[in-house]
């Protein structure tokens, strides 16, 4: 376990080792009071405990792909999760359960499962970040969610100061959420996934992916084909990290798709009558999930829309807000997000909510 002490000033230059911009995909964020790198579950727990004993606020940061950190940074201790590894902990003729350390890069894990003929994560290819972040967000894409394969999450409880494995049924998984999100009580240490032994993907649920694969929705395809198609689709939207592409300097989708009750959806349809039917999908019960990208675009914020200071909507995907110039501040990005949120509310009466975790900033 190693640590770095920050300068006791705010507004650090992005080249400073203490600047959290270096640890986020947005390349934004001011300095930390202290940065500790932890390479095992034991080191993560020790770093969090030690910081708590000093009275420090603690921010646990792994891939930095779903976090927006304010320009003043974080005055406490930042624990960088750098644990790696996966191992099989259970198996039978049809399934295999793998335990994956929180710091394992997510796409490396997906590549390994595909190479081993384990089905269940292939449509989540190309997503940046770490494995430990996936249950926090209940990461999902192209018809798959990690909640479908997670059987348990090992986490350190900062209140009880104990480590335990939490069963999937107790993780409170919901659309882009869980008990771990918006709470600093739990520190994810490892995640267990139960996957099918199969050379074929799960049924393709997403129409766009089915078209890319040349199959019907519900068909299965070779795992490698599903992974390749998903990565191609994501790259076309600037959603696969590429240091040569400034449109990938983002947190992916900045806003979640609104989930409306039937009355709210009917009001939206009335206000959008001149634009055609809003793209939507059935939700739980009588709820309807609506495309945030469509709402943003139709409210006048199309691909490439530029906000203040170099913050801009991606030229490839309306949902991604980017630090395209490389010089935008978090305040610039937040100003753009507020403009979009307020514009959508004014035009359609629907409130958009941010998907990333906001640290020392607000929208």
Q: What is the pLDDT of residue 3?
A: 57
Alpha helices in the chain, H assignment, sequence order: 41-53, 106-115, 133-137, 207-213, 223-236, 262-271, 292-298, 330-348
Residue pair 190/154 in contact (Cβ under 8 Å)? The answer is: yes
Residue 49 CA to residue 162 CA, distance in Å, equals 11
pLDDT of residue 187: 97
pTM for the model stands at 0.89
Is 122 a catalytic site residue? no
For this structure, is 355 an active site residue? yes
Looking at 253, 280, 314, 329, which residue is catalytic? 253
Q: What pLDDT is recorded for position 281?
A: 86
106-115 and 223-236 helices cross at what angle (nearest 10)? 150
In the predicted model, residues of the chain with pLDDT beneath 50 are 4-17
Q: Which residues pair with 290 in a beta bridge?
A: 280
Looking at residue 323, what is its pLDDT? 95
* Rounded Cα gap, residues 124 and 177, in angstroms: 16
> How far apart are alpha carbons 122 and 228 in whole angstroms?
9
Orientation of helix 262-271 relative to helix 330-348, angle to 10° = 90
The verdict on whether 40 is a catalytic residue reads: no
Given 27, 82, 176, 231, the catalytic residue:
176
299-358: pLDDT as tens digits: 999 999 999 888 999 999 999 999 999 999 999 999 999 999 999 999 999 999 999 999
């Amino acid at each position: 376990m190693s640590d770095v002490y920050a300068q006791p000033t705010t507004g650090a230059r992005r080249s400073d080792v203490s600047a959290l911009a270096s640890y986020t995909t947005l390349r934004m964020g001011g300095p930390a009071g202290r940065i500790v790198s932890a390479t095992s579950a034991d080191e993560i727990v020790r770093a969090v405990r030690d910081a708590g004993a000093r009275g420090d606020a603690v921010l646990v940061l792994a891939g930095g792909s779903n976090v927006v950190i304010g320009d003043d940074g974080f005055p406490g201790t930042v624990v960088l999760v750098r644990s790696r590894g996966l191992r099989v902990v259970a198996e039978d003729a049809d399934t295999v359960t793998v335990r994956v350390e929180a710091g394992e890069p997510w796409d490396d894990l997906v590549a390994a499962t595909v190479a081993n003929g384990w089905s269940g994560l292939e449509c989540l290819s190309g997503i940046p970040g770490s494995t430990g972040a996936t249950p926090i967000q209940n990461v999902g894409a192209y018809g798959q969610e990690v909640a479908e394969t997670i059987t348990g999450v090992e986490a350190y409880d900062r209140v009880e100061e104990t480590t335990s494995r939490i069963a999937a049924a107790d993780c409170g998984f919901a659309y882009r959420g869980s008990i771990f999100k918006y709470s600093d009580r739990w520190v994810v240490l490892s995640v267990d996934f139960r996957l099918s032994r199969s050379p074929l993907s799960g049924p393709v649920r997403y129409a766009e992916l089915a078209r890319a694969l040349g199959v019907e929705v519900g068909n299965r395809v070779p795992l490698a084909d599903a992974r390749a198609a998903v990565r191609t689709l994501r790259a076309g939207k600037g959603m696969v990290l590429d240091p040569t592409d400034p449109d990938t300097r983002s947190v992916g989708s900045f806003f979640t798709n609104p989930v409306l009750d039937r009355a709210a959806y009917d009001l939206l349809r009335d206000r959008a009558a001149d634009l055609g039917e809003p793209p939507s999908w059935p939700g739980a019960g009588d709820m309807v999930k609506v495309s945030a990208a469509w709402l943003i675009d139709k409210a006048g914020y199309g691909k490439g829309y530029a906000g203040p200071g170099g913050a801009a909507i991606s030229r490839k995907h309306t949902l991604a807000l980017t630090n395209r110039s490389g010089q935008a501040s978090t305040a610039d990005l937040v100003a753009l997000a507020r403009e979009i949120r307020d514009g959508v509310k004014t035009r359609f009466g629907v409130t958009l909510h941010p998907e990333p975790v906001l640290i020392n900033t607000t929208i």
